[in-house]
Chain A
Amino acid sequence: MEENKDILKTDQPEYVLEIKDLSIRYDTDDAKVYAVNGIDLKLKKQTTLGLVGETGAGKTTTVLSLLKLVPDPPGVITGGEILVNGNDVMQLSKKELSAMRGKEIAMIFQDPMTSLNPVMTVGDQIAESIMIHENVGKEEAFKMAQKMLETVGISGERAVEYPHQFSGGMKQRVDIAIALACHPSILIADEPTTALDVTIQAQVLKLMKDLKDQFQTSMIMITHDLGIVARTCDEVAVMYAGRIVEEGTLEEIFKKTMHPYTEGLFNSLPNMKDRNSKLKPIKGLISDPTVDYQYCAFADRCPYATEKCWQEVPAKRYFSETHMVMCSAYDDPEFHIARGHENG
């Protein structure tokens, strides 16, 4: 398997982002919280990676670390490497970091109501990013900001207005405009539509997809909505308790689901064909993040769990070049989960 990875690396140097064995821990007074436990991720140019998982799985912590924005204290990056366009984020100086943020990686935040500064006009907020990264004056930056607003479908005249004069969906558009203002090579969207209603959600997602293509940006989409994943992503990584338990192309994850946790996620979706059917939630609660799991963290909720699951952290197993699953059950070559079996 090690060999396999190396081949991937040399054959395809066009990764904009590589995360290697990243671990992040929050050291609080009460406990140590193991937020991210040795994850590997690679993001190809112009692809969209969906990062899926329950609340507390470590999705946001992972992406914040890409910008070195994990609050420290209490957050400590305990190991691993993050390469953005080949540069190791951990080794960057404060100045280089400032130059990278917004220019190479930009982020769209979850709640547009709180992610805009209420006392600055939206134009100034977009222009701020442009002024930091492009060598332009105030007036020109403002004009570019207006153009950017029009790109996201808001009239440029409104650049002089304040965030409270915009609706939620429009604020999220402004957020997108800020993030894309300097044409970053990676766009991180942290549950960009969670705070929006469903009709606006669709519009915003479409806009993001269009702009992603227009600006040739790669994207990491954090969400717990599998519908959004299906609509926007090329690749999917499923996170549980700080580990990526299954990773693959959209098709592999949706059609050839392997990991019991991923199966559980799909089973918890409401069944559209049979509206009277009961929801099938994953039993139990999300694992305690203050435990440093030296075994499969999902074992106590897993319907297929065996003795072995409690003894060691499952190894990474590749079922295709792209499809990785972290589950000991596949030691048994006969093993398969119910979902894949039913679907044939």
Chain B
Amino acid sequence: MSKNSKAAAQPKRKTQGQLIWHQFKKNKGAVIGLIAFLAIVGLAIIALFIVDYDTQIAGMLIKDKLQKPSAAHIFGTDHLGRDVFLRVIYGAHYSLLIGFLGTGVSVLFGTLIGAIAGYFGGKLEWFIMRLVDVLMTIPTMLMATCVVAAFGISITNLILAIGISTAPHFARTARASVMTVRGNEYVEAAKAIGTSDFIIMFKHVMPNALSPIIVQATNRVATCIIAAASFSFLGLGVPSPLPEWGAMLSDAKPFMRTQPYLMIFPGLAIMITVLAINLIGDGLRDALDPKLKR
């Protein structure tokens, strides 16, 4: 063993991130999804700098209205003469913001209470899970309507509404996942060396219980984006001059037959974003599962 001691002094530690990336790369679909997703994020960021909100997004250029796609306006223009391409890429950050923050709120609350319920069990679990059951009986749409009705239409309220109404799903997933992990011998082994409940929960149980939550979360980002679009489409989400994709679809409704591109491009944007995120989620699931490592 002594001849190894020198090498042992500076072990080449591959970080967790490197290992996950190594696995993630192997999934072609996930890589394509990631590229598409990064492209969308990139465009959204560029749009924030090159687009002038007041004239190009919220302004009115009536003389240019309802133009077909051309070299000057590659996605055409809408009924107020605004460039659809600029609006779509500018609108990406609303969708992404709502999708990720909504999911973030939901994962944070849901996973935390679900994990506590699953790990400690007993009366606490009963109380938390019944609360979750009650929350689950309220449809997302109704919940969002209530929140918006009570606090007014704004992006923050929309994020909260979406986050809170989907949190129960994460609570259930987290509880079920934690309960299976809790029964593992390594959790008992950790207890046997004197590890505290807090550390066991966050170092031993949660990392092993996270895979289903991450997969669900990526799917949830996608559904949150769709939900945000639906709310905006119904007039409950992002208010109209903001180029949220759902709101754009709603604005384009009257021109669906004559100018279908007004609906096609925001619709495609939603579709591609959702697909890209789902592909990434799939890749992440494989990469995060240590048993699939080769």
| A162 contact set on B, CB distance < 8 A | 290, 293
| B192 contact set on A, CB distance < 8 A | 67, 69, 101-102, 106-107, 109
* CB pair B208 A101 closer than 8 Å: no
Q: What does DSSP make chain B's interface, helix, strand, loop or mixed?
A: helix
- Assess A128 versus B4: contact at CB under 8 Å? Given A109-B188, A115-B185, A118-B208: no
Count of chain A residues near B, Cβ 8 A: 42
| A107 contact set on B, CB distance < 8 A | 189, 192
* CB pair A160 B13 closer than 8 Å: yes
| B203 contact set on A, CB distance < 8 A | 120, 128
Mark out the residues of chain B between 161 and 189 whose CB falls within 8 Å of any chain A CB in the assembled complex. Answer: 184-186, 188-189
| B1 contact set on A, CB distance < 8 A | 150, 153, 155-156
* CB pair B185 A109 closer than 8 Å: yes
| A116 contact set on B, CB distance < 8 A | 186, 189
Whether A214 sits at the interface, judged by CB under 8 Å, is no
Mark out the residues of chain B between 230 and 271 whose CB falls within 8 Å of any chain A CB in the assembled complex. Answer: none
* CB pair A157 B193 closer than 8 Å: no
- Contact residue among B188, B189, B290 (Cβ-Cβ distance under 8 Å from A119): B290
For chain B, give the interface size range.
Answer: 20 to 34
B187: nearest residue on chain A (CB-CB)?
A117
How far does the Cβ of B264 sit from chain A's closest Cβ, in whole Å? 44
Of the listed residues B4, B192, B195, the one surrounded by the most CB atoms of chain A closer than 10 A to its CB is B192
B196: nearest residue on chain A (CB-CB)?
A98
* CB pair A132 B195 closer than 8 Å: yes
| B14 contact set on A, CB distance < 8 A | 160
CA distance A132 to B194 in the complex (A): 7
* CB pair A114 B208 closer than 8 Å: no
How far does the Cβ of A155 sit from chain B's closest Cβ, in whole Å? 5
CA distance A115 to B293 in the complex (A): 19
| B4 contact set on A, CB distance < 8 A | 150, 155-157
Whether A59 sits at the interface, judged by CB under 8 Å, is no
B19: nearest residue on chain A (CB-CB)?
A162
Mark out the residues of chain A between 136 and 164 whose CB falls within 8 Å of any chain B CB in the assembled complex. Answer: 146, 150, 153, 155-157, 159-160, 162, 164
A99-117 toward B: CB 8 Å interface, digit per residue (1/0)?
A: 1111100110111001111
| A100 contact set on B, CB distance < 8 A | 194
* CB pair B194 A119 closer than 8 Å: no
- Assess A160 versus B290: contact at CB under 8 Å? Given A69-B192, A115-B186: no
* CB pair A69 B194 closer than 8 Å: no
A113: nearest residue on chain B (CB-CB)?
B185
Whether A178 sits at the interface, judged by CB under 8 Å, is yes
| A133 contact set on B, CB distance < 8 A | 193-194
Whether A65 sits at the interface, judged by CB under 8 Å, is no
CA distance A111 to B186 in the complex (A): 10
A97: nearest residue on chain B (CB-CB)?
B194
* CB pair B189 A109 closer than 8 Å: yes
B197: nearest residue on chain A (CB-CB)?
A94
Whether A129 sits at the interface, judged by CB under 8 Å, is yes
| A115 contact set on B, CB distance < 8 A | 185-186, 188-189
- Assess A98 versus B194: contact at CB under 8 Å? Given A119-B290, A164-B290: yes
A100: nearest residue on chain B (CB-CB)?
B194
How far does the Cβ of B7 sit from chain A's closest Cβ, in whole Å? 5
| A111 contact set on B, CB distance < 8 A | 185
B122: nearest residue on chain A (CB-CB)?
A73
| B152 contact set on A, CB distance < 8 A | none
B13: nearest residue on chain A (CB-CB)?
A160
CA distance A153 to B4 in the complex (A): 12
| A99 contact set on B, CB distance < 8 A | 194
Whether B191 sits at the interface, judged by CB under 8 Å, is yes
A126: nearest residue on chain B (CB-CB)?
B193
* CB pair A102 B194 closer than 8 Å: yes
A111: nearest residue on chain B (CB-CB)?
B185
* CB pair A129 B193 closer than 8 Å: yes
Mark out the residues of chain A between 74 and 111 whose CB falls within 8 Å of any chain B CB in the assembled complex. Answer: 97-103, 106-107, 109-111
- Assess A159 versus B186: contact at CB under 8 Å? Given A69-B191, A118-B208: no
B186: nearest residue on chain A (CB-CB)?
A117
Give 26 CB contacts A-B under 8 Å: A67-B191, A69-B191, A100-B194, A101-B191, A101-B193, A102-B192, A102-B193, A106-B193, A115-B186, A115-B189, A117-B204, A118-B186, A118-B208, A118-B290, A119-B290, A120-B204, A128-B199, A132-B195, A150-B4, A156-B5, A157-B11, A159-B8, A160-B11, A160-B13, A162-B290, A182-B193
Q: Give 9 nearest A-B pairs by CB, closest first.
A: A156-B8, A102-B193, A101-B194, A129-B193, A102-B194, A115-B185, A114-B185, A98-B194, A117-B186
